[in-house]
Amino acid sequence: MPSASVILDDPNLLFVNAGMVQFVPFFLGQRTPPYDRATSVQKCIRTPDIDEVGITTRHNTFFQMAGNFSFGDYFKRGAIELAWGLLTNAVSEGGYGFDPEKLWATVYLDDDEAIELWQEVAGLPLERIQRRGMADNYWSMGIPGPCGPCSEIYYDRGPEYGVDGGPEANEDRYIEIWNLVFMQNERGEGTSKDNFEILGPLPRRNIDTGMGVERIACLLQGVDNVYETDLVRPVIDKVAEYARVPYGNHSSTASDVRYRIIGDHSRTAAIIIGDGVTPGNEGRGYVLRRLLRRIIRAAKLLGVEQPIMSELMVTVRDEMGPSYPELVTDFDRIHRIAVAEETAFNRTLAAGSRLFEDAAESTRAAGKSTLSGSDAFTLHDTYGFPIDLTLEMAAEAGLSVDEEGFRGLMAEQRQRAKADAASRKQAHTDLSAYRDLVDGGPTEFTGFNELSSQATILGIFVDGVRVPVVSHGGAEGTVELILDRTPFYAESGGQIADEGAISGTGSSATAHASVTDVQKIAKTLWAHRVRVESGEFVEGDMVTAAVDPQWRRGATQGHSGTHMVHAALRQVLGPNAVQAGSLNRPGYLRFDFNYQGALSDEQRAQVEEVTNEAVQADFEVHTFNEKLEKAKAMGAMAMFGESYPDEVRVVEIGGPFSLELCGGTHVHNSAQIGPVTILGESSVGSGVRRVEAYVGLDSFRHLAKERALMAGLATSLKVPSEEVPARVATLVEKLKTAEKELDKIRLASAKAAGANAAAGAEQVGKVRLVAQRMSAGMTAGDLRSLVGDIRGKLGSEPGVVVLISEGDEGSVPYVAATNRAAQDAGLNANELIKQISSAVDGRGGGKADLAQGSGRDAAGIDRALAAVRAEIARS
């Protein structure tokens, strides 16, 4: 089987992390496999051990897992025989030729059968077979499902890599190269790798194995680590052309680690982008962004001054393209996204560097030599600075860093993230109740040619439980009817499901149900979610399934309109504006596409015009089936990250204007779409834009509403419609001028109040203090301006100014300032802000001489001022 995309529709996985993932329905018994045995080399992404990359000799974030699988066929003996033969047979016999004397095996604690087989099949002596516990040698997906003991194969690299004693003693010397999982049980709920209940045996025993291609390459090529194999080392060599520090300088281990991080992450980033991900702030996009930023940071720490991402992506393409052709065919997009992220992060680094300089200055001003853990954490959390970059910058500034405080805050963040992930993680949906129907063959979809079909009820389900009959008022829960054939489109490809009705025939003619949703089960069965409104439905009944014609008409307009907008975007913006997602329903479409930067008004108008010109051209819409590779060769657009069967459906609108792989329903001619009105264009993530539009009658209604609005404005302003924009612009300008005059008056009044405040400063100990509630409506900017004026009037003796106001929309802005004499006396504006923040439910900060914040509880203002007075009195 070919490798699946690293992105699969699995609620528990950001990325495919093992070769078995694409076979999960077979292991869970949801589907009967079409074959008893399989092998694959799967692209895998694992990032939990990202901090180990470059430090150990064996960790990759992207790796290739070679595996062989048995679905109720061979079991332990067969798996061990196949693995041992491949590893130890001579190259001339199709093996890898490893010395059997250097191979070790581990087994689960009580798996005596595996120990006997290793001795019998492989001739391994007992001293080279080690028993290990559940955390190491018992495999599961981490959720309820199949599980079982496993047996891992290790290669002894020799005493120069560590102490003797087998895998238990040292996993750098004894490197794991293959894991054989004997899936024979079903697990229940649990909280960790070694804390869950074994519910009982599976109906049949399976084999799942995973061999690390990079680790095998490392051993066969005789290199020291996985980063020096022939697919990664070229990236390292490319970096060495620009870095100030050479690779392999063993007196500087940190530098070698940075080289390896770049080599590893460059491959991973290219693969992830190639499978359809763009950088973002959550989920897969966040992982990609983190990888790219680690590359950029590591390069800078090696002394690489110029942008380097372009050359790294070219190197990865050249080395890995022969194995993964999508890295070549989609290279323009991969290159553009990676380079854009480098450009954006370089700007972020500049902003973060300014924050670091401010934090360093505040640290020195407070007479300290250690940057706080909270400052280091802010640099990491807000600007993506890793602790090693902060440490290096601090050392250059003559400061140390509170690493313990930083790591404590990081641990708290990880705990929150872990709890959030655990709350969202779920077991795989149990589809075993549908298995008989899935095995019986797919539902026949008739909706391309008709809106009403005669069908037989194959199964009835209520909340996932199969029942023989369902009647009006008799079922509470989600009712699903599985039919042998249907005209209803099941939600997929961005198109939501059809609406309509299912009615009984013959003796069950009184039965009627409205169809509220249609979903696919195991990608083959159409499950009609219905509301039974009369009569009863019995399994085996003949029924009539009818789609609402008006609904379908609107749905086809929306879907065909999506294709037209996609084609128009590519015509206006270029071929890199490719689809990143879509949603269409009657009268409306939403289209996400990869593009850097917002569209100009002119570009947006062009896209709308090109789309409507194509609508007016009344292009014919042709659909046909074709082999996947031939369809791609014709230029048919495919969705990044989607998996397609060998034969695909192609939708062609206007010859070369639009050609896409699509399984949705469409109009017959483009004119049937009706007018397309683009409502707006916005960002939905880094490098991903979104266009929304109305089509057909909804578009007309929107334009009619806009026309009525314009007519109303023209009447109110007493000008013709075409003069409304100029008239509104004039009014806006007058309003801005009036607001500026009001601001001047307000600020003059505030300054007068400030002068009075300075004159009336109270004496608290040796400190002249102004702590006042200012008039409502003042902004943080107003307060900052005032505290500077007041502080200047307090003279040379210690002086402190604290001003608070009730701002707009319930906000409570506040500012604190100290003069030099007050700072010498140990008073710090940043510390005073903390007192205020606590009283008014706010947050803030700054430097020793000036700090500010904003709260939400105006009732605490008097309490805050009292706290400031008390703090100064104690000083």
Is residue 302 over pLDDT 70?
yes
Average pLDDT over residues 509-534: 92
Question: CATH no. for residue 462?
Answer: 2.40.30.130
User: CA end-to-end span of the chain, whole Å?
Assistant: 74
Is residue 422 over pLDDT 60?
no
**Whether residue 494 sits in one domain with residue 448:** yes
Q: Is there a binding annotation on residue 668?
A: no
Q: Are 837 and 853 in contact (CB under 8 A)?
A: yes
- Tell me which of 177 and 775 has the higher pLDDT: 177
- Tell me which of 419 and 237 has the higher pLDDT: 237
Compute the distance between CA of residue 711 and CA of residue 724 in angstroms, rounded to an integer: 9
Is residue 5 over pLDDT 60?
yes
Structural tokens at position 198: 């074994």
Is residue 748 over pLDDT 80?
no
- The pLDDT, as a whole number, for residue 359 is 86
Structural tokens at position 93: 């016999």
**Whether residue 190 sits in one domain with residue 283:** no
**Whether residue 185 sits in one domain with residue 100:** yes
Question: CATH no. for residue 57?
Answer: 3.30.930.10
Question: CATH no. for residue 565?
Answer: 3.30.980.10
Q: Are 479 and 529 in contact (CB under 8 A)?
A: yes
**Whether residue 579 sits in one domain with residue 537:** no
**Whether residue 134 sits in one domain with residue 36:** yes
- Tell me which of 650 and 421 has the higher pLDDT: 650
> Does 8 fall in a domain?
no
Write out the DSSP string of 293-340: HHHHHHHHHTT--S--HHHHHHHHHHHHTTT-THHHHTHHHHHHHHHH
- Of 130-139, 222-231, 469-478, the range with the lowest mean pLDDT is 469-478
One-letter amino acid at 378 equals T
Average pLDDT over residues 835-839: 91
Tens of pLDDT, residues 550-587: 999 999 999 999 999 999 999 999 888 888 889 999 99
Average pLDDT over residues 86-103: 96
> Does 745 fall in a domain?
no
**Whether residue 418 sits in one domain with residue 437:** no
Is residue 812 over pLDDT 60?
yes
**Whether residue 420 sits in one domain with residue 450:** no
Is residue 434 over pLDDT 50?
yes
pTM above 0.85, yes or no: no
Structural tokens at position 112: 């005596």
List the one residue out of 542, 482, 480 whose CA is nearest residue 511.
542
Average pLDDT over the chain, rounded to an integer = 88
**Whether residue 688 sits in one domain with residue 602:** yes
> Does 677 fall in a domain?
yes
Is residue 723 over pLDDT 50?
yes
Task: Write out the residue range of the structural domain in which residue 194 sits.
Answer: 21-229
Is residue 106 over pLDDT 90?
yes
- Of 143-147, 406-410, 724-728, the range with the lowest mean pLDDT is 143-147
> Does 451 fall in a domain?
yes
- The pLDDT, as a whole number, for residue 446 is 96
Compute the distance between CA of residue 527 and CA of residue 691 in angstroms, rounded to an integer: 31
Is residue 385 over pLDDT 80?
no
As beta bridge partners, residue 140 has 147
- Our count of domains for the chain comes to 5
Q: Is there a binding annotation on residue 666?
A: yes
List the one residue out of 155, 293, 134 whose CA is nearest residue 212.
155
**Whether residue 317 sits in one domain with residue 296:** yes
Is residue 429 over pLDDT 70?
no
Q: Given 508, 526, 547, which residue is the final one in a domain?
A: 547
- The pLDDT, as a whole number, for residue 411 is 82
> Does 315 fall in a domain?
yes
- The pLDDT, as a whole number, for residue 164 is 94
Tens of pLDDT, residues 626-643: 998 898 888 888 776 566
Residue 11: which pLDDT band, with cuts at 50, 70 and 90? low
Is residue 532 over pLDDT 60?
yes
- The pLDDT, as a whole number, for residue 382 is 66
- Of 447-451, 481-485, 569-573, 803-807, the range with the lowest mean pLDDT is 803-807
Please name the residue that has the structure tokens 């509170």. Answer: 402
> Does 216 fall in a domain?
yes
Question: CATH no. for residue 858?
Answer: 3.10.310.40
**Whether residue 417 sits in one domain with residue 440:** no
- The pLDDT, as a whole number, for residue 250 is 57
Residue 844: which pLDDT band, with cuts at 50, 70 and 90? confident
> Does 470 fall in a domain?
yes
**Whether residue 603 sits in one domain with residue 466:** no
- Tell me which of 285 and 251 has the higher pLDDT: 285
Q: Is there a binding annotation on residue 566?
A: no
Greatest CA separation for the chain: 101
Q: Which residues contact 215 (CB under 8 A, 6 or more apart)?
A: 58, 175, 176, 177, 226
- The pLDDT, as a whole number, for residue 53 is 83
Residue 391: which pLDDT band, with cuts at 50, 70 and 90? confident
Q: Is there a binding annotation on residue 662?
A: yes
- The pLDDT, as a whole number, for residue 426 is 42
Tens of pLDDT, residues 659-687: 999 999 999 999 999 999 999 998 876 67
Average pLDDT over residues 116-124: 96
Query: What angle in degrees, to the nearest 10, is found between the helix axes of 253-274 and 233-240?
Result: 120
- Tell me which of 87 and 277 has the higher pLDDT: 87
Tens of pLDDT, residues 21-50: 888 888 877 778 889 999 999 999 988 777
Tens of pLDDT, residues 470-520: 988 776 778 999 999 999 999 988 899 999 999 998 777 889 999 999 999
Out of 323-332, 354-363, 669-678, 820-829, the most confident range is 669-678
Compute the distance between CA of residue 348 and CA of residue 383 in angstroms, rounded to an integer: 6
Q: Which residues contact 153 (CB under 8 A, 6 or more apart)?
A: 83, 87, 103, 104, 105, 176, 177, 178, 179, 180
Distance of CA 596 to the CA centre of its chain: 18
Compute the distance between CA of residue 537 and CA of residue 231 in angstroms, rounded to an integer: 60
> Does 234 fall in a domain?
no
Structural tokens at position 236: 């390292």
- Tell me which of 781 and 141 has the higher pLDDT: 781
- The pLDDT, as a whole number, for residue 251 is 46
**Whether residue 166 sits in one domain with residue 35:** yes
Q: Are 84 and 178 in contact (CB under 8 A)?
A: no
- The pLDDT, as a whole number, for residue 204 is 84
- The pLDDT, as a whole number, for residue 425 is 45
Residue 430: which pLDDT band, with cuts at 50, 70 and 90? low
Please name the residue that has the structure tokens 């500012």. Answer: 815
Q: Counting beta carbons within 10 angstroms of the beta carbon of residue 796, is it exposed (0 to 12), middle (13 to 18) or buried (19 or more)?
A: exposed
